[in-house]
Each structure stands twice: as structure tokens, then as C-alpha cells.
Amino acid sequence: MTNKSASDQPATEKPMTTMNESAADTSWPSRKAVGLPVQVAAQAGALLRAWTRDPGIVVQSLLFPTFMLLMFQLVFGKSVTQLGVGASVYGNTGLVALVGALYGTVATAMSLIHERDSGLLSRMWTLPVARSGFIAGRLTAEAVRTGLSTIVLFLVALSLGFRFEQGVAAGIGAWVVPMIFAVGVAVPVIALATVASGTQAVQLLGGVFLFLLFFNSGFAPVSEYPGWLQPAVRYQPMTPAIDAIRGLTEGGAVAAPLLGTIAWTIGLVIVFGPLAVRGYRRACEER
């Protein structure tokens, strides 16, 4: 008569046992930080895949440079060649490869602003990865994007008389030059995109890029410009890069213009790199 059924046992004993068991069994796996090279590769790959689905980036990176090369060569090609400084297709190809890098960064800056405003940057900022990997991955993606568009441009230029007269190794060097240039240009563009309240500020870069587009050694030798304008043409960042590409393909000076391109890239990174890092961090933390 005094025996109690199981249902009459104190109700507190079973929950205590269950809580203890669940506490013992709950062992979440530790979140191991991803190495910087892996993070950079993953970030760059994700950006490149996203950019292929963005019509604006595809047009600015591939179609616009191709159309521009055909137009320059058909309209100005014969006149520039008659100046006696070599076939115009070499200067025009180098010029347009850099133009693709310039305007491609503007298109990707627009996507960066969208990522900031949508909160995507903030969500990625919480991942257990190195903070430097975000900008490093974006710069890597810019370089790869420019490299791919340069390959397409070189293939089109081959039909216009463009040749790798200095050999395969030099041709690879000519392909790398626009990628170096793109990294230098991308840093100030990223710095502006992370602090701009909208896309209008980034679009204003088009005015600056127009000056670089029309006043360089790709259209004509520096000596053909007015004397007062020659220093600006000679020392703007596109001129040494164009000369380096021409030297590595058609022939001519290589060391000085290549060093000039590298110096411009390093200078832009040193000046605008800290601004880009602070702007990127603020864009992530304020959303």
C-alpha cells in the first residue's frame, strides 16, 4: 500500500538529470580562424563570381574596353602611326587595358556601396577571420578582373596587328602591368566608396579618369602635346604603364616606365591605404 508508482515520483528528479545530461552533451566545436591566404582566395573568388552576374561590371570591364580599342584604332590608328613612333595598335592597346582597369574599379565601387548599405559588410565583419583579408581579397579580385579583361583585349588586338614582338616572357610582363596599375587605382576608389553617402561621389571619378584617358602617351608621344601640358602628361600614372606595355610588346624602354608604374602603385597604396582601412572598418561597424 505504501509503494508509489513511477508517476508518483517527485517531478524534479527527471528534469535535474536531463539538464545535467544536456549540459554534459552540449559541446560546440571551436571556431578556428581561417588562414589569411585561404581567406583572401575565398573573398576574391566570391567577389569575382558576384561580378560576373553584374551587367554593369561586365560592360565596364570587357565590352567597353573592346569597343574603345576598335574605335581608337579605326579613327586614330593611321594618324598616330604616321607620327613615326611605332604602330598605333601597341599604344592604343596599352591605353585601353588601363582604361578597363580604371572604369572597372568604378563599377565595383558601386557594388561595394551596395554591400555596405545592405549590411552585408557588417555580417562578414563578424566572421573569425583577419580584418586585413577583406581589403586584400578585394584588391586581389580587382587584379584578377583586370587580368581577365586584358587577355580578352589582347585577343581582340591580335586581329588588328598587335603582336608580342619581344617574346612570351615579355608578353606575360605586359599582361601583368595593368594588374599592378589596377591595384594602385583600386585603393583610393575603395577609400572613397566606403565613406561616400551615395554613388554620386564615386561617379565623379569619371571626370578625373577622362583627363587620364585623353592626356597620356597612348594617343601620341608626349612631345606632341603643348609644352605647358607635357609635364602633366609625362608624369600622370597611365603614361609609364602604357610605355611599359609598349616596350614589352613592340619594343623600347622597359625598366624606367615599369619602375614608374610600380612607384605610382606603391605611392597610392601608402597614401590612401590607411584611409581605405579606416573607411572599410567604419562602414562595417556602423551598419
Residues 99-144 pLDDT 10s: 889 888 887 888 888 888 888 888 877 777 777 788 888 999 999 9
Mean pLDDT of the chain: 82
Q: At what angle do helices 132-158 and 36-52 cross, to 10 degrees?
A: 50
Q: What band does 24 get if pLDDT is binned at 50, 70 and 90?
A: very low
Which has more pLDDT, 87 or 273? Answer: 273
Amino acid at 9: Q
Whether residue 39 has pLDDT greater than 70: yes
Q: What pLDDT score was predicted for residue 139?
A: 92
Q: Is residue 99 part of a domain?
A: yes
In angstroms, the CA 32 to CA 36 distance is 12
Entry pTM: 0.82
Q: Is residue 9 part of a domain?
A: no
Q: Is residue 207 part of a domain?
A: yes
Pick from 82-91, 134-143, 217-226 the range whose average pLDDT is largest.
Answer: 134-143
Backbone angles phi, psi at 247, to 5 degrees: -65, -35
Grid cell 576598335 — which residue? 70
Average pLDDT score over residue span 175-192: 93
Contact call for residues 179 and 147 (beta carbons, < 8 A)? yes
Q: What pLDDT score was predicted for residue 262?
A: 96
> What does the pLDDT look like over 231-284, one tens digit per residue?
999 999 999 999 999 999 999 899 999 999 999 999 999 999 998 888 888 877
Q: Is residue 30 part of a domain?
A: no
What's the grid cell of residue 206? Answer: 569619371
Burial of 240 (C-beta count, 10 Å sphere; 0-12/13-18/19+): buried
Range list of β-strands (E), 128-225: none
| Domain boundaries, position 76 | 35-285
Whether residue 30 has pLDDT greater than 80: no
In angstroms, the CA 122 to CA 117 distance is 9
Q: What pLDDT score was predicted for residue 37?
A: 85
Q: Is residue 10 part of a domain?
A: no
User: Among residues of the chain, what percentage have pLDDT more than 90?
Assistant: 34
Whether residue 77 has pLDDT greater than 50: yes
Please name which of 286, 111, 98, 99 lies closest in space to residue 190, comparing C-alpha atoms: 111
Q: What band does 29 get if pLDDT is binned at 50, 70 and 90?
A: very low
Q: What pLDDT score was predicted for residue 12?
A: 47
Whether residue 224 has pLDDT greater than 60: yes
Q: Is residue 67 part of a domain?
A: yes
Q: What pLDDT score was predicted for residue 201?
A: 72
In angstroms, the CA 126 to CA 129 distance is 8
Whether residue 9 has pLDDT greater than 70: no
Please name which of 61, 226, 238, 87 lies closest in space to residue 153, comparing C-alpha atoms: 61
Nearest-5° Cα angle at 7, 6 to 8: 90
Residue 196 neighbours by CB under 8 Å, 6+ apart: 113, 202
Q: Is residue 221 part of a domain?
A: yes
Q: Is residue 4 part of a domain?
A: no
Q: What band does 8 get if pLDDT is binned at 50, 70 and 90?
A: low
Contact call for residues 282 and 197 (beta carbons, < 8 A)? no
In angstroms, the CA 220 to CA 226 distance is 12
For the chain, what is the domain count? 1
